[in-house]
């Protein structure tokens, strides 16, 4: 027997245990607390002893029951950040993808996987108004944004051979942290990211954008790109794409859309997002508003040659020798990654199983639930809505006239609500004010969950008054 041999019957037993745990998790998700009762030291004691010299066997080595009990349940009452909820058919797809272990570098390494991924890219591009765009699946919005801005740099201030020079990038003051991170990593200098002012609805002010670009040009700087948010992280504000695209065309800049949070809402409500097809690159997160298990980002781009100029640097040992253009296709010439997971499988399986219409309906329902939540907040004398609801992020706070600092009062409300473990919310800063933030990108969330959120906030705020 060789060191890692596994008896087929034993493997079946193990598979049964693991599948059983996964099913138990999915089936009890709704009953579980969104805040597991765990402490750091307790978990270190449980899971910290990682690598025994001799194998322990399934029960001792996995401790699956403890793993479940100390994991956070993304059920319908989890409203924090921008979280999807691992649609179960997608989960099975991820499992199968690991078993198949296709290395989706290219058609040659993963023929079916590459064909499926390319077909999905084409279909999503079409559905999102980006006909003719190419694309690659990636780890998430951060890597999509990094690759989109790498293309912008290579297009407007080529750096691959000679190194990066400072160049200016524009985004609203509400932009997600992954953009300054990308600007820094690309050697452009974070000081060269211009945070453009927003209007009262937290959307980029295009007059301020135009003025900032002209000011930089007049000062001898090199503007290269504008990042528009299709769903900003705090309030879900959608920047005015058409007006921004007119400015990027006028000044020959790359337009990148960060649609990691909101871009997929265009499947259900295209008017809320605007014409994504005007962009040069669009970053999307299918592990957010297409409910897929993490990780599953998708970067779409208009110009495949630009993607190749940016990312291709092919060694002889991987160069394709095929003549057929389909079979010669290589993702690694258009992406940061060489070895790549078969991310498309979960999407392909779950969307084919449910149908795209079911996804549109679920996104529409999330939008309606967010509108209902906003309405309930507006109807309450004890709550205050802090920002318009473009998509499904709702920023609000509890009123407390007798308290000196509404910010610290609401910090205490947030802590109290999350401590109780029935619902989970996160926070945001809205116009300098501390906001409670609930975001609905979860196919499991129901009207009852939204009502539970209001109950919890009012109960905690009442107890603190
Ligand atoms: C607007 C926006 N951009 C980018 C990201 C980063 O995405 P990821 O966490 O998949 O890297 C997020 C995550 O919440 C986001 O909301």
Boundaries of every domain in the chain: 8-71, 91-355, 357-464
Query: Is 403's pLDDT higher than 70?
Result: no
Q: Kindly give the number of the ligand 1 atom that is closest to the alpha carbon of 82.
A: 14
Going from the Cα of 222 to the center of ligand 1, the distance in angstroms, rounded, reads: 27
Query: What are the tens digits of pLDDT across the range 73-126?
Result: 999 999 999 998 899 999 999 999 999 999 999 999 999 999 999 999 999 999
Per residue in 277-294, pLDDT (tens digit) is 999 999 999 999 999 999
How close is the Cα of 158 to the center of ligand 1, in Å?
Answer: 26
CA of 210 relative to ligand 1 center, distance in Å: 26
Phi first, then psi: give them for residue 299, nearest 5 degrees.
Answer: -105, 125
Q: What span, in angstroms and rounded, lies between the C-alpha atoms of 415 and 404? A: 18
- Confidence category of residue 52, pLDDT binned at 50, 70, 90: confident
Dihedral angle, C-alpha 161, 165, 167, 171, nearest 10 °: 70
Residues touching ligand 1 (Cβ under 6 Å) are 81-82, 140-142, 145, 176, 178, 229, 231, 233, 258, 260-261, 285, 297
Report CA(17)–ligand 1 centroid distance (Å). 34
At residue 229, does pLDDT exceed 90? yes
Q: Assess whether pLDDT exceeds 70 at residue 318.
A: no
Question: What is the predicted pLDDT for the residue at 317?
Answer: 67
Q: Over pLDDT 90: what percentage of the chain?
A: 90
CATH architecture of 357-464: Alpha-Beta Complex (3.90)
Strand partners, 430: 433
Q: How far is the CA of 290 from the centre of ligand 1 (A)?
A: 14
Q: Give phi and psi for 17, each to the nearest 5.
A: -60, -45
Find residue 283's DSSP bridge partners. 258, 299
Task: Report percent pLDDT > 70 for the chain.
Answer: 98
Determine the distance separating the centroid of ligand 1 and the alpha carbon of 140, expressed in angstroms: 7
The string of pLDDT tens digits covering residues 330-343 is 999 999 999 999 99
Q: Write out the two tokens for 64.
A: 């699956």
Confidence category of residue 53, pLDDT binned at 50, 70, 90: confident
Are residues 298 and 138 in contact, defined by beta-carbon separation less than 8 angstroms?
yes
Helices 356-379/447-464 angle, 10° precision: 30
Find the 57 Cα to ligand 1 centroid distance in Å: 38
d(CA 17, CA 23): 10
**Distance of CA 185 from the midpoint of ligand 1 (Å):** 17
Q: Quick check: helix, strand or coil at residue 430?
A: strand
DSSP H helices, 321-424, are 344-354, 356-379, 406-420
| Phi (first) and psi of residue 301, to 5 degrees | -145, 150
Beta bridge partners of residue 238, listed in sequence order? 230
The pLDDT of residue 392 is above 80: yes
Residues 393-409, mean pLDDT to the nearest whole number: 89
| CA within 13 Å, CB half, 354 | 20
- When pLDDT is averaged across residues 45-66 and rounded to a whole number, the result is 81
**In the predicted model, is pLDDT for residue 59 greater than 70?**
no
Rounded CA-CA distance 174/201 in Å is: 11
Phi-psi map region of 151: left, alpha, beta (phi>0 left; psi -120 to 50 alpha): alpha
Ligand 1 atom nearest to CA at 175: 1
Are 298 and 284 contacting, i.e. CB atoms less than 8 angstroms apart? yes
Band of residue 60 on the pLDDT scale cut at 50, 70, 90:
low
Q: Say whether pLDDT at 302 is over 70.
A: yes
What pLDDT is attached to residue 251?
A: 98
pLDDT of residue 134: 98
How far apart are the CA of 309 and the centre of ligand 1, in A? 26
Q: What is the pLDDT of residue 58?
A: 67
**Positive/negative CA dihedral, 214, 215, 219, 221:** negative
Q: Give the residue, out of 178, 231, 289, with the most ligand 1 atoms within 8 A of its beta carbon, to mutate for a pocket test.
A: 178
Position in ligand 1 atom list of the atom nearest CA 231: 1
Task: Give the three-class secondary structure for 393.
Answer: strand
Q: Ligand 1 mean position to 344 CA, how many Å? A: 19
**Whole-number average pLDDT of the chain:** 95
Which residues in 277-406 belong to E strands, given as ranges? 281-285, 297-301, 383-385, 393-398
Domains 91-355 and 357-464 share a fold: no
Calpha distance 184→206 (Å, rounded)? 24
First to last CA, the chain: 68
At 159-177, the pLDDT tens digits run 999 999 999 999 999 999 9
CATH class of 91-355: alpha beta
pLDDT at residue 61 tops 70 = no
Helices (H), ranges, 186-240: 206-218
Using CA atoms, how far residue 46 sits from 22, 59, 314, in Å, is 20, 14, 45
Atom of ligand 1 nearest to the CA of 297: 10
Most informative mutation of 142, 227, 428 for ligand 1 (most atoms within 8 A of CB): 142
Structure tokens at 397: 């706070």
Taking CA atoms only, the protein residue closest to ligand 1 atom 8 is 141
To test the ligand 1 pocket, which listed residue (82, 437, 441) has its Cβ within 8 A of the most ligand atoms?
A: 82
Q: Which atom of ligand 1 is nearest to the CA of 140?
A: 10
Poorest-pLDDT segment among 54-68, 182-196, 197-211, 355-369? 54-68
Mean pLDDT over 343-363 rounds to 98
When pLDDT is averaged across residues 204-231 and rounded to a whole number, the result is: 98
């Amino acid at each position: 027997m060789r060191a890692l041999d596994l008896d087929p019957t034993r493997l079946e037993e193990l598979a049964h245990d693991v599948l059983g745990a996964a099913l138990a998790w999915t089936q009890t998700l709704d009953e579980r607390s969104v805040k597991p009762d765990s402490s750091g030291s307790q978990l270190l004691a449980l899971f910290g002893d990682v690598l025994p010299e001799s194998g322990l066997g399934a029960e001792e080595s996995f401790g699956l029951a403890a793993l479940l009990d100390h994991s956070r349940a993304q059920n319908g009452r989890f409203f924090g950040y921008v979280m999807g909820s691992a649609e179960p058919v997608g989960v099975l797809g991820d499992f199968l993808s690991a078993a198949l272990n296709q290395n989706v570098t290219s058609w040659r390494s993963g023929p079916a996987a590459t064909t499926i991924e390319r077909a999905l890219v084409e279909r999503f591009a079409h559905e999102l108004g980006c006909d003719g765009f190419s694309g690659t699946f990636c780890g998430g919005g951060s890597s999509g944004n990094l690759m989109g801005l790498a293309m912008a740099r290579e297009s407007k201030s080529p750096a691959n051979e000679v190194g990066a020079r400072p160049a200016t990038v524009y985004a609203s003051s509400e932009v997600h942290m992954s953009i300054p991170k990308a600007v820094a990593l690309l050697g452009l200098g974070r000081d060269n990211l211009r945070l453009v002012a927003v209007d009262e609805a937290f959307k980029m002010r295009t007059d301020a954008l135009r003025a900032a670009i002209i000011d930089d040009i007049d000062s001898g700087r090199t503007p290269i790109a504008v990042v528009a948010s299709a769903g900003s992280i705090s309030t879900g504000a959608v920047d005015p794409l058409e007006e921004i695209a007119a400015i990027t065309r006028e000044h020959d800049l790359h337009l990148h859309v960060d649609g990691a949070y909101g871009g997929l809402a265009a499947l259900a409500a295209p008017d809320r997002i605007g014409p994504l097809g005007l962009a040069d690159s669009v970053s999307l997160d299918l592990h957010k508003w297409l409910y897929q298990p993490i990780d599953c980002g998708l970067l779409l781009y208009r110009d495949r040659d630009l993607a190749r100029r940016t990312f291709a640097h092919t060694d002889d040992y991987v160069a394709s020798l095929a003549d057929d253009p389909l079979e010669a296709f290589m993702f690694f010439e258009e992406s940061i990654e060489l070895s790549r997971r078969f991310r498309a499988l979960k999407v392909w399986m779950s969307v084919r199983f449910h149908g795209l219409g079911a996804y549109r309906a679920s996104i529409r329902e999330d939008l309606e639930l967010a509108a209902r939540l906003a309405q309930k907040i507006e109807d309450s004398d004890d709550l205050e809505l802090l920002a318009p609801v473009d998509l499904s992020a709702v920023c609000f706070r509890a009123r407390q006239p007798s308290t000196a600092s509404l910010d610290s009062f609401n910090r205490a409300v947030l802590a109290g609500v999350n401590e109780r473990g029935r619902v989970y919310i996160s926070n945001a800063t809205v116009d300098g004010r501390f906001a409670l933030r609930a975001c609905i990108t979860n196919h499991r969330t129901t009207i009852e969950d939204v009502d539970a959120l209001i109950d919890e906030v009012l109960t905690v705020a009442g107890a603190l008054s």
